[in-house]
């Protein structure tokens, strides 16, 4: 469910039934992702891969899309845990489908699919918008790579492969105009990559450094005054 509570009294203002629930002995029950509020709308990406748009005041359903079914994707083992990103009139979600349907954008007003790109299975990390090399893009950490997608078309601009099968959860941290840090638990660690574009328009992502001493298993990494802070595994 997506539920709105009165801030002062705690009473339920409205509640939307999101369909089938989710239970896992290993991962626990319930939803995984934070809803995204944009203006008068709430966007929620449910644990079973259904994207819903709701009216913020009343909870009325505006549209719903079965993202996994529409894009030929499988639900991740521990359920969908990626929050929607609202940018430039579209809602961007990790679908994880093959054939150019890894990252998908739907029209924020109508729910119609606007673009898609990439081929990697979905991870548990949420997409974010950033400007790298002077170009606005969506940066996403999927199961197989860290990548930047054109914010207008979804085309993959650059890709940094992460072949390790460990679950990817933490969001990328963008540092300035050309650096991205991301980290994984389960003994893998973190990498800082430098994203650049040649005069001919070719993009690349090069490793700057790698460490096994900062392994963000579930939590987010914070950048502050030249340092990165995070829990290391547990």
CA-wise closest residue to 141 among 186, 113, 173, 109: 173
Residues contacting residue 184 through CB under 8 Å, at least 6 positions apart: 162, 164, 166, 167, 168, 169, 170, 190, 215, 216, 217
pLDDT on residue 32: 83
d(CA 51, CA 75): 13
Over the stretch 12-55, which tens digit does the pLDDT of each residue have?
999 999 777 788 888 788 778 899 999 999 999 999 999 999 99
pLDDT on residue 224: 96
Residues 116/73, Cβ–Cβ less than 8 Å: no
Specify the 3-state DSSP secondary structure of 38.
Answer: strand
DSSP 202: -
Q: Which long-range contacts (CB under 8 A, 24 or more apart) does 153-156 make?
A: 153/115, 153/117, 154/103, 154/104, 154/105, 154/115, 154/116, 154/117, 154/118, 155/117, 156/117, 156/118
Predicted confidence pLDDT, tens digits, the chain (234 residues): 899 999 999 999 999 997 777 888 887 887 788 999 999 999 999 999 999 999 999 999 999 999 999 999 999 999 999 999 999 999 999 999 999 999 999 999 999 999 999 999 999 999 999 999 999 999 999 999 999 999 999 999 999 999 888 999 999 999 999 999 999 999 999 999 999 999 899 999 999 999 999 999 988 999 999 999 999 997
pLDDT on residue 218: 87
pTM assigned to the model? 0.94
Output the six-digit token pair for 226.
């030249």
Output the six-digit token pair for 187.
């003994």
Specify the 3-state DSSP secondary structure of 198.
Answer: coil
């Amino acid at each position: 469910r997506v539920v709105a509570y009165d801030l002062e009294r705690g009473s339920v203002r409205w509640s939307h039934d999101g369909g089938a629930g989710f239970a896992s002995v290993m991962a626990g029950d319930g939803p995984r992702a934070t809803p995204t509020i944009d203006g008068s709308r709430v966007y929620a990406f449910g644990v079973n891969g259904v994207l819903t748009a709701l009216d913020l005041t009343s909870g009325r359903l505006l549209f719903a899309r079965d993202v996994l079914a529409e894009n030929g994707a499988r639900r991740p083992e521990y359920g969908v845990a990626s929050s929607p990103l609202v940018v430039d009139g579209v809602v961007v979600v990790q679908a994880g489908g093959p054939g150019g349907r890894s990252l998908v954008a739907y029209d924020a007003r109508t729910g119609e699919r606007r673009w898609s790109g990439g081929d990697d299975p979905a991870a548990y990390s949420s997409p974010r918008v950033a400007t790298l090399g002077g170009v606005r893009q969506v940066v996403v950490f999927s199961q197989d790579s860290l990548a930047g997608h054109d914010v207008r078309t979804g085309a993959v601009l650059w890709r940094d492969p992460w072949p390790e099968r460990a679950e990817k959860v933490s969001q990328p941290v963008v540092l300035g105009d050309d650096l991205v840090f991301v980290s994984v638990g389960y003994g893998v660690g973190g990498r800082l990559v430098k994203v650049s574009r040649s005069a001919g328009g070719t993009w690349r992502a090069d490793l700057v450094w790698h460490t096994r001493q900062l392994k963000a298993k579930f939590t987010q990494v914070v950048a502050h005054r030249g340092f990165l802070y995070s829990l290391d595994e547990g």
